[in-house]
Every structure is written in C-alpha cells, then in structure tokens.
Amino acid sequence: MRWNKISDAVIRRLPLYLRVLDDLAQESETEAISSQELGIRAGVGPALVRKDLAWFGEFGKQGVGYEIGFLRDELRKILNLDSRLAVGLVGVGSLGVALTRYHLKRFAEDASFNLQLEALFDSDLTKIGQSVEGVPVYGLEDIPRQVKEKGLKIVIITVPAQNAQDVANLFIKAGIQGILNFAPVKLKAPDTVHVVDTDVSLELQRLAYYVPKTTNG
C-alpha cells in the first residue's frame, strides 16, 4: 500500500525513526519509547514525530508510548523494507567501488538492511566481465536484461555529469523505479520514477557557510 499526498520530508524522516528503533532493539531490553525520546534520538521534536506517524495509522498508546518491536515492523512495511529489494550501481570508478564495499558490508552485518546490491554496470571494456567483491560488472547494453532477470528496483548512479541523464534514461526505459544520483546534475525522470540527488560538492559548499572564517597574522 502506498499513501498519497504525503510529503517527501515526512518519508525522509521515517528511516531516522527506524534507525533509532533498530539501535534500541539491539542495545536495550526496553519495550516502549515515548515520542519525546524518539524525537530526541532522531533529532526532531516530539510533536513532529507524532504528526509524521499519524499519517500512517495509530501506533502509540497514551501514557505508554510506542511499542518498539511493533513500530519497527510497521515502519519497515511502510518503507518497503520488509522484503529484499534488489539494487544496481552504474559507474565502477573510485566512488562506485567505495559505495559497493560499504553497501555489501552493511548488508552482511545488518540483518534489517534488505537492500541487496546485485549488479554493477560500466562502459569501460576493461571492467566489464570483472567483479567487485563478488558483484559482477556488466556493460550498459546489458541493463534491460539484468534489470529484468535480477528484479532490480533501484539504481545508484556514480557516472560523470555529462553521462548521467543518458544512463538514467537506459534504466528508466528498463523499468527501474528509484534512482540515487551521485552525479552533480539534476536528472529528469517521469513521475513513476523517484530520484534522490546527492551532490557532495553542493553539500560541502553549504556546510562551508557555517564554518567561522579565520584571520591570518
């Protein structure tokens, strides 16, 4: 089930709540958590926690709070994380390889992380046919077949900006439903495909605003 008219800002906070609940499930025998504590741990106000969760149902009990195990399971269902989702990555350069290794480590160590990296793609003939940590590298011409055979739902794009839209178009045409874009360019996609842009250089420039200037001498 998908909920309509819910802002992306709400959806972005749900994984924060889930991370808090995952941590609590591992580190504590506590069975319930208040919106106050959940908000503090997630870095938001308790009223916002209650408002966000209210979009999807009534999960808490007055005077008790939220039952950790139940809310954790419900958030996983809402986020489509209650079953395995196959992921691909295109652009097997330094960033792509680093992301591959991070992703595989997280998948191996975290039983609740159900996003499985199944295939890598690149246009470099010296990389095609090779593998990174056991994940095979395919050519771009293999995108339609691999998306279908492996059931890829999400792709991570780490190619240069000038190639990103063309690569995204190949995956969109193949039926991909979500794109995590690390290329420093805004991608165009139909409404049926959700794109999340992660521009490291822009985030660093934004962060620089908050760094006090220093004077020499």
Buried/exposed code over 106-142 (b: 16+ C-beta within 10 A; e: otherwise): ebeeeeeebbebbbbbbeeeebbeeebeebebbebeb
Render pLDDT for 15-47 as a digit per residue (tens, 0 to 9): 999 989 988 888 777 788 999 999 999 999 999
With a pLDDT cut of 70, the percent of the chain lying above it is 96
pTM of the predicted model as reported, rounded to 2 decimal places: 0.81
Question: What structural domains and CATH numbers belong to the chain?
Answer: 8-78 (1.10.10.10), 85-203 (3.40.50.720)
The sign of the dihedral angle between the CA atoms of 121, 125, 129, 135 is negative
Count of CB atoms situated within 10 Å of the CB of 149: 12
Q: In the prediction, which pLDDT does 199 show?
A: 82
Tens-place pLDDT, residues 46-66: 999 999 999 988 887 777 789
Q: Are 157 and 92 in contact (CB under 8 A)?
A: no
Of 112 and 210, the one with more pLDDT: 210
Does residue 192 carry a pLDDT above 50? yes
